[in-house]
Structure 1
Amino acid sequence: MATAEIVGDGLRVRFSRWERIAVWREEITVPLARIRTVEQIGNPLARTRGGRIGMLVSGVVKVGIWGLGTGTRQLVSARRSGPALRIVLDGGEFGELLLSLPDAAELAEALKARA
């Protein structure tokens, strides 16, 4: 499962060893200034759209890059159960992050306070 934390003026997301294969990176750091909205969501698996590069276990987990051909690329590390965040970004490689995180509520509040 991915982890996320605020480090300085950025949000750093680190991926587990097996997730790294699907997202093609060990971590990503997004400047807080690029974060437009943060919302805690249920059923993050239903929020992906378009083509993908990554791993899909239908109804269980999605990890990779979604949104190919839609204009908004999504970096996804989502599971069917547990809390998740949808983070909409302004510019850059990805337009959205969809992340299942054990501390989603706390991180959402911290991000909203810093925005």
Structure 2
Amino acid sequence: MTEVTVNNNHLTIVFPGWERLMAGRRFHSVPLDAIRTSEVTGWPSEFLGLRSGLNISGYRKLGTYRHPNGTRRLVAMKAGEPVLRIRLTDGSNGWGFDELLISTPNADEVNAALQD
């Protein structure tokens, strides 16, 4: 299961085992000051973009997505878990993404830590 933590002024997402193959990385970390907004949502219904990774419709999405409008997303969503939607400032400045969509059982706790 994807692990999300907030510490040392960074949000860190760790992809264990086979998930790292689909995500194309072991982890992804961004400084807290790069986070523009965050919220806890349900499974999004909008088109996320063209993907590289795993997509089992309505159950699991894991990988990188690029929308035709240029939005780049790192996605690790699992049905039945809350989704933490994090919008970043400028993805071109080295973090590589404009938005993170991560399912985690502790989404409310992580979101509260990001609001502080």
TM-score (norm. length: structure 1)? 0.91
Match of 2:4 in 1: 4
Matched residues in 1 for 2:47 and 2:67: separation? 11
Matched residues in 2 for 1:97 and 1:7: separation? 17
Quick one: which amino acid aligns to residue 18 of structure 1? Answer: W
Quick one: which amino acid aligns to residue 86 of structure 2? Answer: I
Is there any run of 5+ residues in structure 1 with no aligned partner, and where? none
Structure 1 residue 57: Cα displacement: 0.9
Equivalenced residue count is: 112
Matched residues in 2 for 1:104 and 1:96: separation? 15
Structure 1 residue 47: Cα displacement: 4.5
- Displaced runs of 4 or more, over 3 A: none
Is there any run of 5+ residues in structure 2 with no aligned partner, and where? none
Quick one: which amino acid aligns to residue 58 of structure 2? Answer: G
User: Percent same amino acid at aligned positions?
Assistant: 39
RMSD in angstroms over aligned alpha carbons?
A: 1.2
Tell me, yes or no, if structure 1 residue 106 matches structure 2 residue 92.
no
Higher helix proportion (structure 1 or 2): 1
Match of 2:86 in 1: 87
Structure 1 residue 26: Cα displacement: 0.2
Match of 2:27 in 1: 27
TM-score (norm. length: structure 2)? 0.90
